[in-house]
């Protein structure tokens, strides 16, 4: 299969005091505002689950006639414990059984949305559910089973979004049933700096491409955080200047080589990670949580730059 190239971005629209964990979702109007911003520069959107958030996104795209192609994601809960998860992923059999039922319901929602909305261009059977450190581990044979269930019910191509490492060994049986492979690469999380960030990204990508000759491979997460409290990323290695530099290099390479790449991510998400305001998980957006553009997008979105920020940058 051939994947259409174009600007692509990961979208999750949670604002202040909203969280998927609390079941507090962005409104139709808030999502409409976001998508009208994003349509200026992006064609492909990636969503992470089949929650009311995703359903509203797809409804807005349909109702407003927006030209997005959407990768719909499934939010897979743990189907096995994982002793290698640093923050703990030891679950009772009762919890795992409930998670398996929850995952079945998520698959059913994905099928319904994929068949209802023409904007759904592809479906991912999960996100980082097989990497060594995950807290929502799903056995590979179960992922294979989930893919087969989806293939029996929808027409869209199916993928799985994962860190580059598991693709080169444990996910080989899954690749056999997927239409294409989706890779995540984060130099900053692996203690790389801007001197070799792009080269490291390229190495990550090609380690998977070279392992599966002829199988399409896209990048579904690559980005740079703009703030850090030191948890996993040194504060000096997180800034708007570094994000802009990495983005520019990433886009130059992926556009030249026609590698479909979903940048992580559209907007900052305050609900993520620890309560610390400088928690790096909260700051990967190309836009701030108030929807003003960070440095990387300031030229493209000059109309959204506050007047005082614009004056200060002259």
Any idea what DSSP says for residue 255?
Answer: H
| Whether the Cβ atoms of residue 61 and residue 93 lie closer than 8 Å to each other | no
Q: How many domains does the chain have?
A: 1
pLDDT tens digits for range 3-50? 789 999 999 999 999 999 999 999 999 999 999 999 999 999 999 999
Query: Quick one: tokens of 88?
Result: 């703990």
pLDDT value at residue 142: 98
pLDDT for 238-294, tens place per residue?
Answer: 999 999 999 999 999 999 999 999 999 999 999 999 999 999 999 999 999 999 999
Residues paired with 256 in a beta bridge = none
Residue 233 in any domain: the answer is yes
Residue bearing tokens 């109309």 = 303
Determine the structural domain holding residue 204 and report its residue range.
8-312
Residue 43 has a CB neighbour count (10 Å cut-off) of: 16
User: Alpha helices, DSSP H only, in the chain?
Assistant: 28-38, 52-64, 93-116, 140-151, 164-167, 172-175, 197-209, 240-257, 307-312
Reported as a single tens digit per residue, the pLDDT across 167-193 is 999 999 999 999 999 999 999 999 999
Q: Which helix (H) or strand (E) holds 154?
A: none
Span 150-158, average pLDDT: 98
SS3 call for 228: coil
- For residue 298, being part of any structural domain is answered with yes
Average pLDDT of the chain is 96
| DSSP state for residue 224 in the 8-state scheme | -
Assign 3-class secondary structure to 198-212: HHHHHHHHHHHHCCC
Asked whether 280 and 273 are in contact (CB, 8 A), the reply is yes
**Per the domain annotation, does 285 fall within a domain?**
yes
Does residue 232 fall inside a structural domain?
Answer: yes
Residue 2 is assigned to a structural domain of this protein: no
What is the C-alpha end-to-end distance of the chain, expressed in Å? Answer: 47
Of 292, 290, 254, the closest CA to residue 8 belongs to 254
C-alpha triplet 206, 211, 216: angle, nearest 5° = 70
Task: State yes or no: pLDDT of 234 exceeds 80.
Answer: yes
Residue 1 falls within a domain, yes or no? Answer: no
CA distance to 92, 202, 302, per residue, from 185 (Å): 32, 9, 29
pLDDT at 4: 86
Spatial distance between the Cα atoms of 181 and 219, rounded to a whole number of angstroms = 8
Please report whether residue 3 resides in a domain.
no
CATH code at position 87? 3.20.20.80
pLDDT above 70 covers a percentage of the chain that reads 97
- Residue 32 inside a domain? The answer is yes
Q: Residue length, the chain?
A: 314
The answer to whether 123 and 150 are in contact (CB under 8 A) is: yes
């Amino acid at each position: 299969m051939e994947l259409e190239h174009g600007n692509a971005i990961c979208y999750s629209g949670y604002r202040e005091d909203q969280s998927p964990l609390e079941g507090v979702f962005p409104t139709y109007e808030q999502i409409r505002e976001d998508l009208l911003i994003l349509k200026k520069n992006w064609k492909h959107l990636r969503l992470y689950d089949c929650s009311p958030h995703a359903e509203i996104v797809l409804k807005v795209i349909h109702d407003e006639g927006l030209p997005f192609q959407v990768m719909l994601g499934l939010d897979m809960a743990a189907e096995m414990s994982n002793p290698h998860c640093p923050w703990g992923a030891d679950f009772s059999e009762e919890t795992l059984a409930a998670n398996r039922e929850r995952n079945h319901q998520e698959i059913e929602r994905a099928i319904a949305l994929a068949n209802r909305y023409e904007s759904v261009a592809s479906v991912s059977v999960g996100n980082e559910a097989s990497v060594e450190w995950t807290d929502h581990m799903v056995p590979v044979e179960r992922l294979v089973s989930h893919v087969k269930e989806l293939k029996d019910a929808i027409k869209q191509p199916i993928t799985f979004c994962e860190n580059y490492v598991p693709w080169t060994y444990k996910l080989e049986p899954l690749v056999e049933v997927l239409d294409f492979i989706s890779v995540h690469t984060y130099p900053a999380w692996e203690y790389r700096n801007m001197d070799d960030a792009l080269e490291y990204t390229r190495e990550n990508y090609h380690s998977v491409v070279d392992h599966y000759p002829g199988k399409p491979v896209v990048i579904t997460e690559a980005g740079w955080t703009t703030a850090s409290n030191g948890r996993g990323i040194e504060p000096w290695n997180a800034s708007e200047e570094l994000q802009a530099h990495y983005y520019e290099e990433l886009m130059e390479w992926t556009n030249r080589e026609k590698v479909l790449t979903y940048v992580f991510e559209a907007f900052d998400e305050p609900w993520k990670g620890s309560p610390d305001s400088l928690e790096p998980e909260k700051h990967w957006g190309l836009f701030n949580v108030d929807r003003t553009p960070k440095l990387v997008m300031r030229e493209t979105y000059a109309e959204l730059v506050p007047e005082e920020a614009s004056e200060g940058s002259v």
